[in-house]
Copies of this chain bind each other. A is one copy, B any other.
Amino acid sequence: MRTFRLVISCPDRVGIVAKVSNFLASHNGWITEASHHSDNLSGWFFMRHEIRADSLPFGIEAFREAFAPIAEEFSMDWRITDTAQKKRVVLMASRESHCLADLLHRWHSDELDCEISCVISNHDDLRSMVEWHGIPYYHVPVNPQDKEPAFAEVSRLVKYHDAEVVVLARYMQILPPELCREFAHKVINIHHSFLPSFVGAKPYHQASLRGVKLIGATCHYVTEELDAGPIIEQDVVRVSHSDSIEDMVRFGRDVEKMVLARGLRYHLEDRVLVHGNKTVVF
């Protein structure tokens, strides 16, 4: 069922819901899902509607025009998307395949509603798996002495494919600040720890050293500060003294791929609203 998704953030005040729902009702809009959140601390209001496209008398462009005055009146940061327009996704990976294979299978079996434009990797190991899915594979090696050319090529490819989302599916390179800024709130990473614990390299080793009883994974938007961007989704799994670091890595893989798949899905369904360094996930 084709729907439009109307996603709004604005300063909170009386009458927003009435105005928006009146607008929708006056055009006979059939709302299939509605979510609201008032944040008391920030005084900000968040809202997401999913509306049957065939219940409305106009298309997305006319919707945009008709809604613009309301958006202006309430100083809304807003967008409307059309589920008929699949989002274009670029996946990036290195050598470990678990997150990439998981996302590819979800896409292949129509669980993940998007286009996968291409996969970019700093290694050539996963080419055959990707190409079996009929997806272009770009091997862009990163020279540790001079990473700049590689990231210029990554930037070129992302733009060439007109990607709306870039997913770092265990891509083991740190994106340069320019790229983080250029694609702000568009790059989704999976970090293999329960952030803010164990930022940076080898989090399972850090977790083992600290003797924690649960390990986790965190899906977040990439920002210039390492592993510090807005968190979309997290989960954990229980470990014990009998689990070696190798066991933790193995358990962790399952958490990583689940958390990344959920986080990406929320993003693709326009469920994630970023405000400051936090997210509202409807």
Contacts and interface: CB of A to CB of B under 8 A. Distances in A.
Interface of A: 14-15, 17-19, 21-22, 24-26, 28-41, 46, 55, 97-98, 101-102, 105, 109, 111, 128, 132, 194-198, 210-214, 216, 230-236, 240-242, 244, 250, 253-254, 258, 261, 277-281
A54 to B, nearest CB: 13
Contact of A197 (B34, B196, B279): B196
A224 to B, nearest CB: 17
Given A18-B24, A194-B194, A210 B236 contact: no
A24 to B, nearest CB: 7
B14 A18 contact: no
A38 B28 contact: no
A211 B212 CA distance: 21
A90 B48 CA distance: 40
Copy number of this protein in the oligomer? 4
Nearest to A26: B18
Given A194-B197, A197-B196, A236-B236, A105 B97 contact: yes
A4 to B, nearest CB: 15
A255 B264 CA distance: 18
Given A17-B21, A213-B234, A214-B216, 9 more contacts: A14-B25, A14-B30, A18-B21, A19-B25, A31-B36, A37-B242, A194-B214, A197-B197, A240-B281
Contacts of A14: 25, 28-30, 55
Contact of A18 (B25, B38, B197): B25
Given A105-B101, A196-B197, A241 B281 contact: yes
A5 B234 CA distance: 32
Contacts of A26: 18
A261 B261 CA distance: 18
Q: Which 6 A-B pairs have the closest CB atoms?
A: A18-B25, A211-B278, A18-B21, A241-B280, A17-B21, A213-B234
A235 to B, nearest CB: 7
A214 B241 contact: no
